[in-house]
Amino acid sequence: MNMMTDLTDVKRGAVIEAKMRIAGKEVGGARVIEVRNPDTSALVGTVPKATVDDIRAAFAVARAYRAKLTRYERSEILAKAAALIRARAEAISDLITAGRIRAMKWGVRATCSRSPAMQPCPTMARFTRAT
């Protein structure tokens, strides 16, 4: 099952069991943190709870890392990632909605940083509430 299938299944009440990776390897044991919908208390998913050894390993890998890609190559990867996020915005918003904080009740508006006047973001319109 891939993450986009998981996102679609969240609408139907599926629980996502996220994995933790350090240096590309899945790590983490049976200890998890439950993610619940704050309105219904329904279980949305679980995320691994890192141990002190997991954290030390992650810091060791980060300290030893040396970039192999140029800045241009990294920017191309980020541009592709942004395009994928835009293409899958609805499925991603369903996941955010399933485990969201009460931002809508507080009147928080989603805005686009690329907008000069910080106008409401069109892809986040379903989260925007008129004040």
What pLDDT, in 10s, does the model give residues 3-12?
A: 555 666 766 7
- pLDDT, average across residues 40-44: 84
* Confidence bin at 126 (pLDDT 50/70/90): very low
DSSP state letters, 55-119:
HHHHHHHHHH----S-HHHHHHHHHHHHHHHHHTHHHHHHHHHHT--SHHHHT---B-TTSTT-P
Q: pLDDT averaged over the chain?
A: 76
Residue whose structure tokens are 């973001």? 121
Torsions phi, psi of 89, nearest 5? -55, -40
- How far CA 119 is from CA of 7, 35, 89, 116, in Å, comes to 27, 31, 18, 8
Q: What percent of the chain has pLDDT over 90?
A: 34
Query: Taking the domains of the chain in order of start, what are their residue ranges?
Result: 3-100, 104-131
pLDDT at 116 over 80: no
pLDDT at 131: 44
In eight-state DSSP terms, residue 30 is S
Given a contact cutoff of 8 angstroms between Cβ atoms, the answer to whether 38 and 100 are in contact is yes
Least confident of 19-28, 72-81, 103-112: 103-112
In eight-state DSSP terms, residue 128 is -
Nearest in space to 11 (alpha carbons), one of 84, 89, 93, 87: 93
Q: What is the pLDDT of residues 60-106, one digit of tens each?
A: 999 999 989 999 999 999 999 999 999 998 888 877 776 554 444 44
- Could you tell me whether strands 25-27 and 16-17 are parallel, antiparallel, or unpaired per DSSP bridges? unpaired
